[in-house]
Amino acid sequence: MNVLGIESSCDETSVAVLFKNKLLANLISSQDFHKKYGGVVPELSSRAHLQIIIPLVKQALLKSNVELKDVDLICATAGPGLIGALLVGFTFAKGLALSLNKPFVPVNHIEGHIFSGFLMDEKPEFPFLALVVSGGHTLLLLVKSFTEIEKLGSTIDDAAGEAYDKVAKMLELQYPGGPKIQELASKSKGTDIKFPIANLKHPFDFSFSGVKTSVLRFIQKNKIVDKQLDYKLKNDIAFAFQNAVNGALIKNTEKALREFKVNSISLVGGVAANKNLRNSIVSLGRKYGIKSIIPNFEFCGDNAAMIAFRGKTLFNEGKRFDLSSKPFPHLTKDGFNF
């Protein structure tokens, strides 16, 4: 079965072709121009998706040596994401499905991330714990099968990636801030600076707005003394902030590992590209004697391979969708498709 996947929820247009378990193409076109605005501008994002979607689909099919008539299933991100951006990929995919008379599967973007570990050679084993850390969401989930996902906790304010991006902005670093913070943190020789992490009532929930505010206060205080932060202090702030956020993520993940018997742990989403976090998850896996599956960088950020894979699993589980479904900008109450 040839599966065509399309992702356009934010600032990446991506098209993938999956044949059985083999990924034939996973093309990702990133909209770098948002950098100069300090964040994603929704209207500009939709227009850029519109311009690239057709050439990208053609290129992905060409690379895969698959003709349109040989596509068996079409999957596209339905949400959550920017509604204008979602509409481009979603409507294009539905139109294609209609014209080719092929089945269409709307895919929840978060579910795409959750199962992205299956794109690796070594795959997660059910039940597994998934730590989803992206620009818009932070979730700790118990994944029992392709259709049973239990939410253990989530952020009550900012997402982890959002906190990285906001603190990067405070340090006058370009969007997206995560990789820049990581780079600065790696130059720090260690510091006594500590940013506090909230202790929440719910054992698996997260909160990152307090850390963000204490970084802001710290910067303001030091700027009074010095107007400009020197580069060493910036490196140390990045280091302390990264430790605080990643420490909170690891702390709750470890609590969940103690409470639930799982066979693997999977770290997914854009922030899963963070080297410090990747290393900590691997150590945690070793400590608890379970596999840790962390996708390659290509599958951490937004990509269509994960959308094609997730769509295929839903189709194989017997789920069928008609063309009347609409894209959704926010996560629904339970958050998932089934």
Strand-pair category, 104-108 with 73-79: parallel
Please state the closest distance from residue 187 (CB atom) to ligand KG4, in A.
14
Interface of this chain with Zn ion, residues 280 to 319, rule: CB under 5 A: 302
In the bound state with ligand KG4, the residue whose beta carbon lies nearer, of 105 and 307, is 307
- Tell me the three-class secondary structure of 269-299, residue by residue: CHHHHCHHHHHHHHHHHHHCCCEEECCCHHH
- Are the C-beta atoms of 186 and 140 separated by less than 8 Å? no
Applying CB under 6 A, does 176 fall inside the site for ligand KG4?
yes
Measured between alpha carbons, how far is 289 from 287 in angstroms, rounded to an integer? 6
Select 64 or 303, whichever has its Cβ closest to ligand KG4: 303
Q: Can you give the three-state secondary structure of 106-164, one letter per residue?
A: EEEHHHHHHCHHHHCCCCCCCCEEEEEECCCCEEEEEEEECCEEEEEEEECCCCHHHHH
Q: Which is nearer to ligand KG4, 12 or 236 (CB)?
A: 12
Q: Min. distance of Cβ 160 from ligand KG4 in angstroms?
A: 7
- In this chain, which of 26, 134, 188, 242 binds Zn ion, going by CB under 5 A? 134
- Give the interface size with Zn ion as a residue count (CB under 5 A): 2
- Select from Zn ion, ligand KG4, none the partner in contact with residue 247, using the beta carbon and a kind-dependent cut-off of 5 to 8 Å: none
DSSP lists the bridge partners of residue 15 as 6, 27
Least distance in angstroms from the C-beta of 201 to ligand KG4: 26
Query: Does the footprint of ligand KG4 cover residue 164 (CB under 6 A)?
Result: yes
Instruction: Give the span between the Cα atoms of 62 and 66, in whole angstroms.
Output: 6
Task: Tell me how far apart the alpha carbons of residues 265 and 76 are, in angstroms, rounded to a whole number.
Answer: 26
Q: Does 270 bind ligand KG4 (CB under 6 A)?
A: yes
CB of 137 vs Zn ion, minimal distance in Å = 8
Going by C-alpha positions, the residue among 136, 144, 131 that lies closest to residue 295 is 131
165 binds ligand KG4 (CB under 6 A): yes
Interface with ligand KG4, residue 285, by CB under 6 A: no
Positions touching ligand KG4 (CB under 6 A) are: 10, 134-136, 161, 164-165, 176-179, 182, 269-271, 273-274, 301-302
